[in-house]
């Protein structure tokens, strides 16, 4: 039976949209891996910081706040901190202004993070408006809601061919053919290849690798209440995670879409930048991994119908903001797909539309 909507991609973008669309029409979601959120969504730093990103991203993040707060188990307090060393004043002040942080004295910073190095940390700024997101709970909540309203979620279903038909699309997977009226590209790092497979002009969405390391809690401290810490200019960041600390070089290395892994040299350089600002050396890694954060050329997500193919819809290019924008982004996409009036401002809708690329 032909579906109203076929969604390609089972990360946070695709799953949240399935939940929004299922009450409005028949939906089949196709995920190539064995489980949902295997790639970028499963490797996220999982922070809700609504002031982080370019203006259209911030608009979506702020519009997502009520959804997050409606479930008391989704968010937990984390807070943010930016630390700077000699020569980093301009980056520090820019970051503090953009993310609405306020500067504090080093002595106060040390009460929050006792391993900060007084010889190399010259300025510190903090904010409380950042929360950890329970990403697994969010994914499962959306998946459950989608299924409750009749959506089919198929895993082990990589797309091998896409064919335009008189009534819409025919998508080939190892599980068989899926036919539908509208094709939704929520394929993350694979967004451009999926478009090409459908005969749609790619938009230049580029996967950028970001590596992560998990290290033991520095100095054996209880780090559960530490904030997420950024080096000025996002030269690195770290965040408590299940009793350990995850540290990232915050690199953005362009690459082809693939099941990413950490680059050892990049990881070592990032850990060294982190070590410069703390008193506890990194003696071992518990684990490391990498994810692909995908950006459009202007680093703004792409949400809307393709400018040349009216039955092809983009929900891609979320970069590192997929989780924190998911509630509002999926609502906007569902409104556009079903012909409803979007809740967000028309200027934001225009800024996110793929028509901006011509």
Which residue intervals of the chain bear CATH 3.50.50.60? 3-46+134-204+297-357
In this structure, the strands spanning 312-316 and 80-84 are unpaired
- In this prediction, residue 41 carries a pLDDT of 47
Instruction: Return the CATH class of domain 3-46+134-204+297-357.
Output: alpha beta
Round to whole Å and give the CA distance between 110 and 96.
19
C-alpha 111/C-alpha 95 separation (Å) is 22
Could you say which DSSP state residue 116 is in?
Answer: B
- pTM score > 0.75 for this model? yes
Answer yes or no: CATH 3.30.70.20 is held by domain 80-127+206-295.
no
CA proximity to 280, closest of 335, 187, 216, 341: 216
pLDDT of 125: 98
Residue 43's pLDDT is 52
Burial 140-149 (b: 16+ CB within 10 A, else e): ebbbebbbeb
Q: Alpha carbon 304 to chain centroid distance?
A: 18
Q: Beta strands 3-8 and 176-185: pairing type?
A: parallel
Write out the two tokens for 157.
Answer: 């279903």
Check residue 358 and give its pLDDT.
Answer: 79
Q: What are the residues facing 229 on neighbouring strands? A: 81, 238
Q: How far apart are CA 211 and CA 191, in angstroms?
A: 21
3-state secondary structure 282-305: CCCCCEEEEEEEEECCCCCCEEEE
Give the dihedral of Cα atoms 234, 261, 56, 193; nearest 10 deg: 150
Helices 12-21 and 135-148 sit at what angle, rounded to 10 degrees?
30
Plot region of 105 (φ>0 → left; ψ -120 to 50 → alpha; else → beta): beta
Task: Assess contact for 324 and 49: CB atoms under 8 A.
Answer: yes
Cα(52)–Cα(250) distance, integer angstroms: 15
The pLDDT tens digits of the residues spanning 213-234 come to 999 999 999 999 999 999 999 9
Contact 264, 314 (CB under 8 A): no
Give CA–CA dist 210/208, Å, rounded: 7
pLDDT at 45: 66
- Per DSSP, what are the bridge partners of residue 215? 245
Q: Write out the H or E segment, with its range, that includes residue 127.
A: strand 123-127
- Residues of the chain falling short of pLDDT 50: 40-42
Contact 27/21 with Cβ under 8 angstroms? yes
pLDDT of residue 42: 47
Query: Quick one: which of 217, 224, 214 has its CA closest to 112?
Result: 224
Are 240 and 76 a contacting pair, CB within 8 Å?
no
CATH 3.30.9.10 domain range(s) in the chain: 80-127+206-295
The answer to whether the Cα torsion of 45, 47, 49, 54 is positive or negative is: positive
Distance in angstroms (rounded) separating the CA atoms of residues 253 and 33: 24
Tell me the two tokens of residue 167.
Answer: 């009534």
């Amino acid at each position: 039976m032909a579906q109203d909507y076929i969604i390609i991609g089972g990360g946070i973008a695709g799953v949240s949209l399935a939940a929004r669309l299922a009450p409005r029409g028949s939906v089949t979601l196709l995920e190539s891996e064995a489980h949902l959120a295997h790639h970028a969504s499963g490797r996220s730093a999982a922070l809700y910081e609504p002031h982080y990103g370019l203006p259209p991203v911030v608009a979506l993040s702020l519009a997502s706040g009520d959804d997050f707060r409606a479930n008391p188990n989704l968010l937990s307090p984390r807070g943010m901190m930016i630390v700077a060393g000699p020569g980093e004043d301009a980056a520090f002040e820019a970051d503090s202004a953009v993310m609405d942080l306020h500067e504090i004295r080093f002595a106060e910073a040390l009460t929050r993070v006792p391993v900060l190095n007084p010889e190399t940390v010259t300025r510190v700024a903090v904010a409380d408006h950042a929360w950890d997101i329970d990403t697994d709970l969010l994914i499962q909540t959306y998946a459950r809601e989608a299924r409750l309203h009749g959506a089919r979620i198929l895993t082990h279903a990589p797309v091998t061919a896409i064919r335009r038909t008189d009534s819409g699309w025919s998508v080939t997977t190892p599980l068989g053919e899926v036919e539908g009226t509208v094709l939704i590209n929520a394929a993350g790092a694979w967004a451009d290849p999926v478009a090409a497979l459908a005969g749609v002009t790619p938009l230049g969405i580029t996967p950028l690798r970001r590596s992560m390391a998990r290290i033991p809690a520095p100095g054996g401290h209880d780090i559960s209440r530490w904030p997420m810490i950024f080096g000025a200019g996002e030269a690195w960041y770290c965040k408590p995670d299940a009793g350990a600390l995850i540290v990232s070089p915050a690199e953005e290395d362009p690459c082809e879409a693939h099941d990413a892994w950490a680059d050892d040299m990049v990881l070592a350089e990032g850990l060294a930048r982190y070590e410069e600002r703390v008193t506890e050396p990194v003696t071992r890694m518990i684990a490391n991994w990498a994810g692909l954060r995908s950006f459009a050329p202007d680093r703004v997500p792409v949400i809307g119908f393709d400018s040349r193919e009216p039955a092809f819809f983009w929900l891609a290019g979320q970069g590192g903001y997929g989780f924190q924008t998911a509630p509002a982004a999926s609502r906007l996409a569902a409104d556009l797909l079903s012909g409803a009036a979007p809740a967000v401002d028309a200027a934001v809708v225009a800024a996110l539309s793929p028509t901006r690329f011509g």
